[in-house]
Structure 1
Amino acid sequence: MDPTTSLKRKHVAPAAHENGKRLCRTVQEGDGTLESERPHHSPRISVLLDRLQQPITMNELTELLHYAALGKAGGIKQPSWCRLLHQKRITALNVVIVEGMTQSHFYKHYLTLLHLRNNYTTRVTFTPSPDVASRIFSSEVPKSDTLSQRHNESSQLPKELSCHPVITKFGTQRRGLTAYVLSQEEMIKKNYPVKGMPGFEEFMCTNSADCVTDCSPLYGLDCEMCLTEKGNELARVSLVDSDGTCVMDELVKPHNRIFDYLTRFSGITAAMLRPVTTTLRDIQVKLRMLLPSDAVLVGHSINNDLLALKLIHPHVIDTSLLYRREFGQRFKLKVLAETVLKRQIQTEERMGHNPTEDAVAALELAQYFIKTGPRQVVELHLEELWGYTIKEDPTDCEPEPAPEPAPAPSHRFADVLHTHGRKVSYIGKRSDIALNLCNQQWYNTDKEVLATFRRQARCPFLSVLPFSSFSDCLKRCLPHQQQQQQQYQRVCANLRDLCVVFAGPFPAGFSERDVRRLFSCCGPVRKIKMMSTAVRVHAKVEFELLEGALLALTTLNGLSMQGQHIKVQRPVDESMLDVDLTLEALMCDSLNSSQLYTVKFNPGVAQRLHFPANINGHTFGTGSIAVDRFPPAKVNGTQHTTVKFKLSEEMVRETFSHFGTVDRVALHPKPGKHARHAHIKFKSSEEKYAALSSSKDLWRENYLVCPSLTPPHLPSWVAVTTPITDVDPDEDATEDEERTHTHTSSEDQEMALMVRKLDRQLWKLFKSLPDGTLSVVILPGHTSAHGHSPGLCFMEVKKKSGVVNISSSPVGTDLACHLK
């Protein structure tokens, strides 16, 4: 080969670079940022190459959600089918279920669903599953080794400790403060103010984060009340920081007439409150300003303080529930301070309690418990607080029966998140969901669901939102299941049309085997149908991949065979009117932005093929060239067989690594046969266009290349979308008749408008998610007696980079206009 045409170059030719600009710019608009520009340590998700060819199940999806939420620190292993990098930086999980939608619906409305195809860079087939939302909440989190270790240690404890209320609740290991923060269920049970629960509608919420960590700051809180005509009302409040420094000590004027100042307990007198003008509202606002978003409030029976403050704060530690007693009894703060802290508070010499002193005592009791650990706290103060000591049983006494084991903790995903102080939310149509009612909000329309989610001050850590408008529209437009199946069949047929070409006329006697041998140089052929008339022979060739049909059009059209030129063209019907627009969008799909397709062909074939100077309107070379210098079939009367080439990953990497970093090579050989084609993923889209600009040089090396069109998650566009039904023997005739009578009905127009509206709602939701959120959109698919319609799962971690503005995109046409 001429050294001037060497493949060892990374720079794009100027002409080719200009031709690639439009595609590259579109990719950047859809993906938000190039791979090389993404933050190095930001979380990201990818699916393993071999698993892209297989659908994922509901169980595999929940494995990912468990790992994203809990990580290795929670005893959860990385899922085997995907990789989630920098899991610790995941801030929230958001799952949207588009009810009624299948994978075929997505590709029918492919151009309209601009947000889904551009902002989600991970896409994989989803096995149809009922009750997706309920199964997410009720999925069982694997039991971690720490729980087993805790059980083993408790079985080795002395009898007095193994059944101790503190040990049975918290175990024996020293843990971080998050282990002692009350769960939402405990707060509801103990009458804490909780958002959404009846009776607390007028309470003010603090600006608290969805979750706290072991490094979150502790704040001690204590309040004193007076008795008014409406009951107990706030009269004084004290707040101390984690160092015990008082940051707030305020007297408060009760709103109602005071009956009793409760001076003996509160220390409040009429003279003290007479000049006070501070109201409860003033205190609420000040507390909201003082408390950091991840603050944990500590108090003794702190539910009474929050009720007096009419304040909702989701992260609290109650010292009366840390130092537990049997049968629900509680120690007084004065007793705990004297026994544990060796400090006298609330003495009789003083008139009433000092709330600052009480707040500091509660804070230090919590800090001591966390630092010391539950087992050591019990062992050190077993006799002083709980009134008994550890004694060995006499050898002649019969052992007492072992106490009944404590109920095992729930391993349901929603319950585990609650124990970690993380909010869980379901917003959608009323349904039988395995989740507490306090975490559910019911609405009838997608608009209400979206508005409610966006109005929330803080995004829940796990939110599941079913969108039902598409399913409702589907039932209106196609009320009968048989009609839905007929439309599904049409969609599948129209998808197959993108992989079909008609070719001919061929010389007399040209067989199906000859056609397959010729067209296989462009890609794997799925099916060939010979169509012979009295004079000429034609063929309908259906490729397994979209790229095969594209390369056949550009390389085999006009091929001379025995003195006559064959014509290769796509089907001519309504479904193909805007085929170029569809192929353009597929080239620019975020999944294909840095991928290309290549075929290794037989050198003997190249003597008769045309170099593809133009592919779908994009010029990747400088024109047709004469390909020669191939060895003749006969030399000196001796027949020379043509060497059949096969692809290997090493061969592909060696050839294409000259243009840039090759991330992966996907070979799809048929069973028992060698691979002849491959999808190549580069590090960036610029490297892909560098390879395409050198297509003439690659041609000389017996490679055909074109931009990748087929989504990586589909081993075959047709095979995955083919329903499980009996095949009509006259299938082609039936499809042709359906296409002939296809027309745009009012129902189709309504469906197209619904899909466009749905995509915009999904875009608004994605835009409102906090950075670092793992966003999952599920098209659940459909299974019935008539067939099997696979679903689709989209996954993306929200980054700081912007999302595509769908209102400004020129591609807004419904794919139903030409896939119908």
Structure 2
Amino acid sequence: MEPEKERTGRTPKKGRKRRRVPNKLVGASEVMRDRWDLEERQQPEAKKACLSTILLSDTREITHGQLCELLKYAVLGKSSVPKPSWCQLFHQNHLNNVVVVILQGMSQLHFYRFYLEFGLLRKAFRHKFCLPPPSSDFLADIIGLQKKQIIGDLPKGMEGSLPSSSSEVSINLQNDPIVKKYGSKKVSLTRCLLTKEEMKTYHFPLQGFPDCENFVPIKCCGSITNNSPLFGLDCEMCLTSKGRELTRISLVAEGGCCVMDELVKPDNKIVDYLTSFSGITKKILNPVTTKLKDVQRQLKALLPPNAVLVGHSLDLDLRALKIAELNLEALASHQELEAAGLEPRNTAEVVQQLNTSVLECLDSVGQKLLFLTREADATELSSSKNCQTIKCLSNKEVLEQARVEVPLFTFSIVQFSLEPFPPNLSEEMSKRMKIKWMEMSTVYAGPFSKNCNLRALNRLFESFGPVLSVTLTLESHQPHLCIQYEVLEGAQLAIESLDGSLVEGTCIKVQRPVTELTLDCDILVNELEQDSENRGTIYLSGVSETFKEHLLQQSSLFLGLEALILPKDLKNGKQKNYCFLRFKTFGSAHRALGILTGKNWKLKGRHALTPRHLHSWLRGLPPESRPPGLRVIPPRSEQEAVQMLNLDHPKIAAWRWGRKIGKLYHSLCSGTLCLILLPGTESTHGSLSGLGLMGIKDEEESNILN
């Protein structure tokens, strides 16, 4: 047996022709809508597995079903299952192992309450995301396990207790997004068409929209039926002085016949051919005379009136073509469908693939799942014939067994069960977390003269970031201002820029309020800056509506740029005056920060402090406000919570668990996809969302070093 097959249990795949990565920046207000391949311009040159989660949604909440998508794709690759809809896994065939570590009884609140204690978790894993509150069977949900799949694995002699008809078997598919929309039965083509409202939601070009004035309308006046012809559309683009422009269009008929394959000469000066993704070079495009208007004319002639287009990122392709209002096929709109013929066109087939469990995926490649858990926490998974279950007496034994057994299996699940916080303590922690973040994002500035220019001072402090409130306090001999920022980065930038400086002829001090909750603020800010998710991200204030266009025009200055995150106001949809830029490495981010905060750009910024998923989570916490300086006395329930987490004090126990997970992580081999999942908790006081941390060992360590 070959060495690689002995180690991974999989036969090494032969080299395949390199294909361009599909442009699939998806999301809502925070991620730039036109998705111009920022996250793919730095596709790794070396053939090693790596991750990108730029596709995460606005809330950055990933469902249990979406986790299952990734785990199945990690096992089988794109030839057998759809790609995950929320992230990219490059070079899946170079993964060596998959390890899922579950910390039962922990939530996102617990992680950030004891953030400083979880050293390795915050520094080693670049990709973090919210999870919804836990379901009744978290483990079954993330591996796609259905009751039907357990039936064949019951001990002999118990078959008589099973339902006599397959219709009596309960299969819980109700939460699957495709089943919710289409049902579990085969549906007609006409049901799978995007509605006008869906096209608006996903920003397809529609006639009459403000950004589509110069688009060519192509009305489909024919009646769409289940027999309407399907056409697979794909476009290649380059970067010009005016943004993205078309360089190639391919149109494939339903039978596989290519009916159009044209190179296109852009109207404006090309600044980047994006050759690594499109294959287009200056030499190839020089003799081309075909223009965009010629392509538009050909499309009008080729497409029958009842044509239906199939593809992925059709919104981007149609915008590059500058054509509006076509019938669009949207099977499994959030799934990554390849060009026509490469992925199933039938919704029933898509549903069937989605309902395949991780166990079945492993079985198809001749592998078993390793499941390590405490004996008291064994689940239905333990009874599956394709699962090697090791039941332990304690969490300590789980850890010891994991370090020995995990390297021997392609796919492992290691489950630790921790004693949950008392419900009243969790509720109090949630309130205090909100207050702590509010106080960290608040600064006091002064003293100022009694006739100071308040309007000018407001403009000064707003230049560092969005301000929620400015209050003039007269408790001191001379006036001071209390400024509460929307983001932590704005408050920190104001302190770093203005503390000890002369403002209106007076030397002012800029500082945070000093309370029990902010005593360790300087340490926390420093550690947040070192968080692996933040190390490659910079914060900028003072950006305009045209900032994106300026960035595109001078993109050659910013090597390693993965994504531009432009927050928008939830009420009016307008772009805010700050943004985040995410780079592949810390070095690239640091160089870009120096350029963007120079005199030519007139922006203010610093390295990011807030993991992106944390913004939406903090907004979702119960609103709390209190007068500055009011003491927060730890509740008696916390002082007495010495039995939580392995019968130890919460802080000490969190630190110990961080070290235990670190030992397990360091024992993993290179190229291991590792997920740390805190499922969240349920109580009579409400649900607490979970948290996921994810990375591939070699990739994450190289990012930290850079």
In which range does the TM-score fall when normalised by the shorter chain?
0.5 to 0.7
Q: CA deviation at 1:669?
A: 2.9
> Could you tell me how far apart the structure 1 residues matched to 2:411 and 2:461 are?
51
Aligned residue in 2 for 1:689: 590
> Residue 459 and residue 673 in structure 1: after superposition, are their counterparts in 2 closer, same or farther (change >3 A)?
same
1:779 paired residue among 669, 674, 678: 678
Aligned residue in 2 for 1:703: 603
Aligned residue in 2 for 1:404: none
Q: Which residues of structure 2 form unaligned runs of 5+?
A: 1-40, 157-351, 643-647
Query: SS state of the match for residue 736, structure 1?
Result: coil
Q: Could you give the per-residue CA deviations for residues 424-445 of structure 1, whole angstroms, max 9, x where no partner exists?
A: 1321133362324364332242
Q: CA deviation at 1:530?
A: 4.6
1:732 paired residue among 598, 622, 626: 626
> Residue 583 and residue 115 in structure 1: after superposition, are their counterparts in 2 closer, same or farther (change >3 A)?
same
Give 1:307-456 correspondences, 5 Å limit: 411-429=356-374, 430-431=376-377, 433-437=379-383, 439=387, 440-456=389-405
Superposition TM-score, scaled by structure 2 size? 0.57
Q: Residue type of the partner of 1:736? A: L
Aligned residue in 2 for 1:673: 574
Aligned residue in 1 for 2:461: 519
Aligned residue in 2 for 1:117: 122
> Residue 647 and residue 127 in structure 1: after superposition, are their counterparts in 2 closer, same or farther (change >3 A)?
farther
Aligned residue in 2 for 1:545: 487
Conservation of the 8 A alpha-carbon contact between 1:140 and 1:411: no
- 1:95 aligned to 2:100? yes
Give 1:57-68 correspondences, 5 Å limit: 57-68=63-74
Give 1:198-597 correspondences, 5 Å limit: 411-429=356-374, 430-431=376-377, 433-437=379-383, 439=387, 440-456=389-405, 459-468=408-417, 471-472=418-419, 474-475=420-421, 480-506=422-448, 517-533=459-475, 537-557=479-499, 563-597=505-539
Aligned residue in 1 for 2:211: none
Identical counterparts, % of pairs = 27
Q: CA deviation at 1:447?
A: 1.1
The structure with the larger Rg is: 1
> Residue 579 and residue 436 in structure 1: after superposition, are their counterparts in 2 closer, same or farther (change >3 A)?
closer
Give 1:634-653 correspondences, 5 Å limit: 645-653=544-552
- 1:756 aligned to 2:698? no
> Residue 735 and residue 80 in structure 1: after superposition, are their counterparts in 2 closer, same or farther (change >3 A)?
farther
- 1:600 aligned to 2:542? yes
Q: Residue type of the partner of 1:546? A: L
> Residue 134 and residue 660 in structure 1: after superposition, are their counterparts in 2 closer, same or farther (change >3 A)?
closer
Q: CA deviation at 1:776?
A: 0.7
1:713 paired residue among 613, 631, 635: 613
Aligned residue in 2 for 1:231: none
> Could you tell me how far apart the structure 2 residues matched to 1:667 and 1:563 are?
36
Q: CA deviation at 1:777?
A: 0.6
> Residue 734 and residue 562 in structure 1: after superposition, are their counterparts in 2 closer, same or farther (change >3 A)?
closer
RMSD, aligned α-carbons: 4.1
Aligned residue in 1 for 2:50: 44
Q: Residue type of the partner of 1:81? A: W
Conservation of the 8 A alpha-carbon contact between 1:723 and 1:788: no
Superposition TM-score, scaled by structure 1 size? 0.49
> Residue 592 and residue 138 in structure 1: after superposition, are their counterparts in 2 closer, same or farther (change >3 A)?
closer
Conservation of the 8 A alpha-carbon contact between 1:57 and 1:126: yes
Q: Could you give the per-residue CA deviations for residues 601-621 of structure 1, whole angstroms, max 9, x where no partner exists?
A: 7xxxxxxxxxxxxxxxxxxxx
Q: Residue type of the partner of 2:359? A: A
> Residue 50 and residue 133 in structure 1: after superposition, are their counterparts in 2 closer, same or farther (change >3 A)?
closer
Conservation of the 8 A alpha-carbon contact between 2:65 and 2:144: no
> Could you tell me how far apart the structure 2 residues matched to 1:413 and 1:701 are?
50
> Residue 187 and residue 791 in structure 1: after superposition, are their counterparts in 2 closer, same or farther (change >3 A)?
closer
Q: CA deviation at 1:785?
A: 4.7
Q: CA deviation at 1:596?
A: 1.7
Q: CA deviation at 1:56?
A: 0.9
> Could you tell me how far apart the structure 2 residues matched to 1:124 and 1:699 are?
36
Conservation of the 8 A alpha-carbon contact between 1:138 and 1:434: no
> Could you tell me how far apart the structure 2 residues matched to 1:734 and 1:539 are?
12
Conservation of the 8 A alpha-carbon contact between 2:120 and 2:662: yes
> Could you tell me how far apart the structure 1 residues matched to 2:630 and 2:621 are?
21
> Residue 566 and residue 800 in structure 1: after superposition, are their counterparts in 2 closer, same or farther (change >3 A)?
closer
Give the total of aligned pairs. 457
- 1:84 aligned to 2:127? no
Query: SS state of the match for residue 444, structure 2?
Result: strand
Q: Could you give the per-residue CA deviations for residues 423-476 of structure 1, whole angstroms, max 9, x where no partner exists?
A: 1132113336232436433224221101122232853333222212xx32x54x
Conservation of the 8 A alpha-carbon contact between 2:108 and 2:680: yes
Aligned residue in 2 for 1:139: 145
Query: SS state of the match for residue 435, structure 1?
Result: helix
> Residue 188 and residue 570 in structure 1: after superposition, are their counterparts in 2 closer, same or farther (change >3 A)?
same
> Could you tell me how far apart the structure 2 residues matched to 1:743 and 1:505 are?
41
Q: Could you give the per-residue CA deviations for residues 289-310 of structure 1, whole angstroms, max 9, x where no partner exists?
A: xxxxxxxxxxxxxxxxxxxxxx
Q: Residue type of the partner of 1:87? A: Q
Conservation of the 8 A alpha-carbon contact between 2:134 and 2:689: no
> Could you tell me how far apart the structure 1 residues matched to 2:407 and 2:53 are?
30
Q: CA deviation at 1:561?
A: 5.7
Aligned residue in 2 for 1:327: none
Query: SS state of the match for residue 660, structure 1?
Result: coil
Q: CA deviation at 1:733?
A: 4.0
Q: Could you give the per-residue CA deviations for residues 539-572 of structure 1, whole angstroms, max 9, x where no partner exists?
A: 3322222210111112344565655454321111
> Could you tell me how far apart the structure 1 residues matched to 2:650 and 2:684 are?
24
Q: CA deviation at 1:77?
A: 0.8
Q: CA deviation at 1:581?
A: 2.4
- 1:71 aligned to 2:77? yes
> Could you tell me how far apart the structure 2 residues matched to 1:700 and 1:712 are?
28
Q: Residue type of the partner of 2:664? A: L
Conservation of the 8 A alpha-carbon contact between 1:36 and 1:684: no
Q: Could you give the per-residue CA deviations for residues 66-95 of structure 1, whole angstroms, max 9, x where no partner exists?
A: 221222222x11112111111223333211
Query: SS state of the match for residue 796, structure 1?
Result: strand
Q: Residue type of the partner of 2:696? A: V
Give 1:190-205 correspondences, 5 Å limit: none
Q: Residue type of the partner of 1:118? A: K
> Could you tell me how far apart the structure 1 residues matched to 2:155 and 2:49 are?
35
> Residue 741 and residue 533 in structure 1: after superposition, are their counterparts in 2 closer, same or farther (change >3 A)?
farther
> Could you tell me how far apart the structure 1 residues matched to 2:542 and 2:148 are?
47
Conservation of the 8 A alpha-carbon contact between 1:128 and 1:789: yes
> Residue 674 and residue 507 in structure 1: after superposition, are their counterparts in 2 closer, same or farther (change >3 A)?
farther
> Could you tell me how far apart the structure 1 residues matched to 2:454 and 2:603 are?
25
> Could you tell me how far apart the structure 2 residues matched to 1:692 and 1:523 are?
16
Q: Could you give the per-residue CA deviations for residues 340-383 of structure 1, whole angstroms, max 9, x where no partner exists?
A: xxxxxxxxxxxxxxxxxxxxxxxxxxxxxxxxxxxxxxxxxxxx
Conservation of the 8 A alpha-carbon contact between 1:547 and 1:708: yes
> Residue 755 and residue 709 in structure 1: after superposition, are their counterparts in 2 closer, same or farther (change >3 A)?
same
> Residue 506 and residue 700 in structure 1: after superposition, are their counterparts in 2 closer, same or farther (change >3 A)?
farther
> Could you tell me how far apart the structure 1 residues matched to 2:59 and 2:454 are?
29
Q: CA deviation at 1:591?
A: 1.4
Conservation of the 8 A alpha-carbon contact between 1:119 and 1:803: no
Q: Residue type of the partner of 1:464? A: I
> Could you tell me how far apart the structure 1 residues matched to 2:129 and 2:368 are?
28
